[in-house]
Amino acid sequence: MKRSLLAAAILASLSVPAVAESDIAVGAGFGIPYGGLGVNFSHALNDQFEVMAALGTTGVAGMGKAIGVTAFFSEESDRGWRSSLIYGTNTILEEQDFFGDSEYESFDGLNLSIGWGSKAQRSGWNFDLILILTTEADDRVDELKEEGVPVEDDTSDIAISFGYQWSL
């Protein structure tokens, strides 16, 4: 009798998925959607839209962060082309003193990306090409120029990101 119940329980457990499909994912990677080098959390609102938040390190300028929304172009597939609007750490400014010692500051702004990746319901790789729309670093550069500090304006308005996410 006990063996029959045990066998029935094992068969029943095999027919039920061990984990239900999740609408939450955690990712690790590099770039604006990861707060620099860090982790992000995604939550699917429906088959096409997700919200995300990230925390990471910029390496030289302290903590980085990001929040945003992602729209997938296809509702049918669990991975594909997508576009994101992200507000977060997007620029690091290096300031050198008279002796050549460097200090770094990080700045936030609005970013628009297009990329390929997995929805929160699926584990997989994510890649994005990002256009920096605004950055608070522009205001700091203007302040430094007004103070007579020589400034090399060699920042790029284009960034990339890549990472891997795990569906929870």
Paired residues of 25 in beta bridges:
42, 167
pLDDT band at 125 (very low <50, low <70, confident <90, very high): very high
Residue-wise pLDDT for 31-89, tens only, equals: 999 999 999 999 999 999 999 999 999 999 999 999 999 999 998 888 999 999 999 99
Report H helices in the chain: 2-15, 137-146
Question: Is residue 67 included in any domain, yes or no?
Answer: yes
Q: Which residue has the higher pLDDT, 58 or 13?
A: 58
43 inside domain: yes
Residue 10 lies in a domain: no
pLDDT of the residue at 65: 98
* Whole-angstrom distance, CA of residue 66 vs CA of residue 31: 10
Residue 1 belongs to some domain of the structure: no
Cα-based distances in Å from 123 to 37, 74, 136, 154, 165 = 19, 17, 34, 36, 5
Residue 136's domain comprises 24-167
- What percentage of the chain has pLDDT greater than the value 70? 86
Q: What is the pLDDT of residues 47-57, one digit of tens each?
A: 999 999 999 99
Total domain count for the chain?
Answer: 1
Query: Which phi and psi (to 5°) does residue 142 adopt?
Result: -60, -40
Q: What is the mean pLDDT of residues 91-98?
A: 85
CATH code: domain of residue 80: 2.40.160
Q: How far apart are CA 98 and CA 107, in angstroms?
A: 23
Residue 116 has pLDDT above 60, yes or no: yes
Q: Would 17 be classed as within a structural domain?
A: no
Whether the pLDDT of residue 160 is over 50: the answer is: yes
Longest alpha-carbon distance in the chain? 89
| Structural contact between residues 64 and 56, judged by C-beta atoms closer than 8 angstroms | yes
- Backbone dihedral region of 36: left (phi > 0), alpha (psi from -120 to 50 degrees) or beta? left
pLDDT at 150: 76
Instruction: Kindly report the average pLDDT of the chain as a whole number.
Output: 87
Q: What is the pLDDT of residue 12?
A: 44
Return the number of other C-beta atoms located less than 10 Å from residue 20's C-beta: 7
- Judged against a pLDDT cut of 80, whether residue 157 lies above it is answered with yes
User: Is residue 19 in some structural domain?
Assistant: no
Give the span between the Cα atoms of 159 and 132, in whole angstroms. Answer: 7
Kindly report the CA angle at 135 between 106 and 96, in degrees rounded to 5?
Answer: 40
Q: Is residue 15 part of a domain?
A: no
Which residues, other chains included, contact 164 with Cβ-Cβ below 8 Å and sequence gap of 6+? 27, 28, 29, 123, 124, 125, 126
Query: Is 33 a domain residue?
Result: yes
